[in-house]
Chains A and B, each alone.
Chain A
Amino acid sequence: MKPDLSEYVASRVAILDRVRRILRDTMKLKIEAEAIDPDAPLFGTGLGMDSVDAVELLMQLDSVFGLYLAGSPQDFVKIRTVNTIVDAVMELGDEP
C-alpha cells in the first residue's frame, strides 16, 4: 500500500474507533465497538437512535472532535451513519 493511502486509512480508522466508542457509550450498547458497522443507519432503523440520543451524540462530537452541528437537515446528513460522522470529522482536519 502506498504511504499516502496507509496514512489516510490509519487516520480514518483512528477516528472510526473513537466514534464507535462514543456511540457505544451514548447508546449504552453491550457489544464490541467493532460490531457497530460503519455504514449502519443510526436513526430510524439500524442502531435505532432517537432524538434524545441525537442530542447526546451532538454534544459528544463537539466535545471530542470540535465538530459543532446545529441540528439542521443538512447537519443531520452528517450523522446518518458512523462513516458520515468520520467524513465530517476528517473534513474538519482539511480546513485551513
Chain B
Amino acid sequence: MSLEDEYRAVRHHAALSRMDHVGLLRLVGDDAIEAVDAVCSGDLWVRDGRMLQTLILDDRAQPVADVYVCPDNDACFLMVEGITTEELSECLARHVDPDLDFELEDLGPEHELLSVHGPYAWEVMSRWLTPDIIGLPYLSFYHFDLGVCFRAGKTGEFGYDLMLRNEHASKARSELLELVTSLDGAEVSLEALDLCALENGFFSIRHGSVDGLTPIELQLQWRVSTRKRFPGVAAIEERRARGIRRRLTHFVAADGVKSGDVLRGPDSPLGEVMTAAFSPAVGGVVGTALLDISVAHPGIAELFVRDRDATFPIRTVSSPLVLNRSLLVDPRSETYATREDSLRPPLWQGALP
C-alpha cells in the first residue's frame, strides 16, 4: 500500500496503527502528580480521567519529549514521545524532590498501544468497544476490561489510543483491522500519521530538528507555565526578554522544496525549511519553515528556494491547512454507509504559489 493510500484511509475512512514509538508509563504514589509537575513545562490543571499535552525541556529549553499527562486517581499515566523510559527516569531523579513519594512503572513490556484514526474511527470503536464511545470527550480516557481507551490523536481526525495488555493485543488488532477494512480503511504507518500531523499543525518531536529552538519559536507557548519553575525555564525567560526573532510558520509549494533549504526574500535570506513532505490534499509540498519574525505570517508569497537551475516559490499559510472531515461528520446522524462525501468541500481550498 502506498503512503497516499494510507493517507486517504486516515483522512476519509478509518485507519489502524501500531504506536510502538510511544512510551507507556505510570507514576504511582501519593506525590505522583507533584513529581510529574516538577519535570513538565505546562501547568498541570487536569482532572482525573482527562489528558493534558505538555513538554519536557532540556536546560536550553529545547523540547526533548512530547507528553500526555493522564491523572488516574492516585496514579498518573504518561504517554511519552522523544525520550526513553531510562531517560525519563534520569530526568525525574535529577529534578524531583527526593522526599516525594512516587514510583515509576514502565508499562511498555506488558502492554501494546494501538490507535484508530479517521472521520469514521468512532464507528470502528463503537462497534468494537461500545456505542457509548461516541460521547467520550477529546483528551479523556476510561478503563475497560482489556485495558484503557484514550480519546486523543494528532491527525485532526477522530482518534483513539488503546493501551491493551499483551495477552489481548493480537486478537484486538485482528478484530480492529477487520472493522477498519470494512470501512475501506487500512493499517497505516507512522509516516502517514506524521504527514497528517504536519498538515494539521501538530507539533511532532520527529518533524525536523529542534536544535536551538524553544517553545517560543515553535509556537508552543501554550504548553509553558508562567507560574512555576521547571527544567529550561531560565532559558525561556532569557529568550522572552530578548524578544521573539524567529517563528515556525507553515507553507505550501508546488515542488522543489526540501528540509534544510534556505528561504530567500526579495532582498536577503529570511529563513530555513524545517520539514517538507508531499501532501495529497494539497497536490504539492506542505512544510514548516523557521522564518524571521518580520515575515513569519501566513499569506506571504514573496519567499522562495533557489538552486543552481531554478527558483521554487512558497506561500506561507495558516495551520491547520485542511478542512478535516471529522469536523463535518456527525456520529449521531450518519454512518460510513450513509455518508455523502461527494457533497463535502475539498480538504484544502487554497492555491499553490
Contact = CB atoms under 8 A, between A and B. Distances in A.
A96 interface: no
B147 interface: no
Contact of B221 (A1, A37, A73, A90): A37
Interface stretch (B56-64, B94-102, B190-198, B290-298): B290-298
Interface residues of A, number: 33
- What's the interface size class on B, roughly? 20 to 34
B300 interface: yes
Contacts of A39: 201, 219, 248-250, 318-319
Contacts of A44: 138-139
Which of A12, A13, A41 has most B Cβ within 10 Å?
Answer: A41
B108 interface: no
Given A39-B318, A46-B222, A77 B323 contact: yes
A9 B345 CA distance: 29
A5 to B, nearest CB: 5
Interface of B: 53, 138-139, 201, 219-222, 226, 240, 244, 247-250, 265-267, 294-295, 297-300, 302, 318-320, 323, 327-328, 345
Would you list the 3 A-B pairs with minimal beta carbon distance, nearest first? A37-B219, A83-B318, A40-B222
Interface of A: 1-2, 5, 8-9, 12-13, 16, 30-31, 34-41, 44-47, 73-74, 76-77, 80-81, 83-84, 86-87, 90
Given A12-B297, A39-B249, 9 more contacts: A1-B294, A30-B226, A35-B240, A37-B222, A44-B138, A45-B139, A47-B222, A74-B323, A87-B298
